[in-house]
Amino acid sequence: MSSTRTGTLSLANTVGKDPGILVIGLAETTEGPVLVGLPEELGKPFAKAMGRSVEDVAVSLGASAKLGKTALVSAPGSLRLVVVGLGPIDVTPEQVRRAAGAAVRLVAGLEGRSPQAVTISLDTTEPEIIKGAAEGALLGSYSYRPAGAGVGEITLVSANRKAEARQAVELATIVADAVVAARDWVNTPANLLYPETFAEQARALAKDAKVACEVLDEKALEKEGCGGILAVGGGSARKPRLVKLSYAPRGARFHLGLVGKGITFDTGGLNLKPADGMYTMKSDMAGAAAVLAATVAIAKLGLKVRVTTYASMAENMPSSTAYRPSDVLTMFGGKTVENGNSDAEGRLVMADALVKCSQDGPDLILDVATLTGACVVALGDRVAGLMAREDETADLVLDAAEAAGELFWQLPIPEETLGKLESKVADLKSTADRNGGALSAAAFLSTFVPETTPWAHLDIAGPAFNDKAAYDYTPAGGTGMAVRTLIALAHAQAS
């Protein structure tokens, strides 16, 4: 079904004689915009032939130093340029990531019979800037259903001839591959990606990286007493799965636990969603996609961090076997939960996995989920929510997110929030009132992680799926949100 297209990237020290489409930058300085990365041997002939500089022609065609603004310039002969805005001249990795992504995405949409070759020349020399440019280029070249010729070979130009430059590109390639894997899963229609097929694809990806994989089917889940996953998946003919990945390298001193929500389609169950709210619900497994893809990338990078990952997979459907509001469920570990709303299913499948993950004794647990519409209302569709019991834990995640170039904002879990989840018939209720819905969801999840275990909850409901136009290196559809942050966090703990 998928016809995903992503370019391949290599490193060069100079612009070659046949660069294909050459990407250069336009940066803002105190003296006005300046071109970045244009070789003198190309700039002079252009100015002589056109009677104007590349910069003047580009600006006349709409180019500016505004970050991500692009313009296609036809140069004398067969050379074509894309001039992309870099923002302020003292660029950050994220600036370069966004600029390279925007430029390559423009090229990917051009008409043609064969994929375009692209050379990116943005004066990248520092390893983090090289990595940012490489990631942006690869992610910007991604298309699930290509509309144009697409991008084939990408050459990143850097004067840095040290091993650190090659290592930065290798790191960027593995990270981008992981993001693309998550995007592909999110974009796959739910009639093709459901718990059984999702689990098997996760197994195949793990095998390629020599990561141990265990899949619990519905019979094993019943034997284990995973009442949350079984209840949510009980209304569908496609039975639930729980996938466990284990990566345990020698010398690892830190144990990271990851838990992901994998609702392959969410109708809302008996609390049926309105039609408009259901259309994008193939993306409700983005949290599971993120933790699975990130785990495999961490293993491929050989990071000295032990990782134990759980992905709870179910399809939430209405039927005669569906769970009901007011049902009392017994979760893995024995805690009872009164179901308040069958469309608040994510926290139920996560609860079983959080208890399982806690029993493995990690030093830190992160859960990732497209959990609440309330988080989207609070933070919009480009910023994810972060909730933790301790600020120290939140700071670890925020630092990793900043390094990765992903946007998270910390929200509180007020002490009184847990009181809203009191139940007269069970240990707790799954939902509270509408006020602060993202916070009460996090409070619910927190009860399934021991207080002695550092834990953070990442609600990626807004930025996990882009139902608007593509921008920078972010495509329409699945974005791969949180993958880069998880890898960056593992990097930080491995160093």
273 is catalytic: yes
324 assigned to active site: no
- Measured distance CA(197)–CA(97) in Å, rounded: 33
Hey, what long-range contacts does 44-52 have (CB within 8 A, 24 or more apart)? 45/76, 46/75, 46/76, 46/79, 49/76, 50/76
Q: What are phi and psi of 390, to 5 degrees?
A: -125, 140
Q: Is the dihedral of CA 189, 191, 197, 198 positive or negative?
A: positive
Tokens of 177: 């591959």
Residues 6+ apart with CB under 8 A from 145: 3
In which residue are the tokens 């660069």 written?
19
> Which H or E element spans position 151?
strand 151-157
Amino acid at the residue 312:
S
Q: Which helix (H) or strand (E) holds 398?
A: helix 391-404
Torsion of CA 91, 96, 97, 98, to 10 degrees: 100
Beta-sheet strand order (sheet of 328-330): 328-330, 336-338, 428-429
Select which of 98, 261, 347, 389 is catalytic. Answer: 347
Q: What is the DSSP letter of 167?
A: H
Angle, nearest 10°, between helix axes 483-494 and 163-187?
Answer: 140
DSSP string, 65-122: SSTT-EEEEEPSTT-EEEEEEEEESS--HHHHHHHHHHHHHHHHTS--SSPEEEEEES
Structure tokens at 433: 């009132």
> Of residues 69, 273, 335, 382, which has the active-site annotation?
273
| CB-neighbour burial class of residue 476 (10 A; exposed 0-12, middle 13-18, buried 19+) | middle
Indicate which residues carry an active-site annotation.
Answer: 273, 347
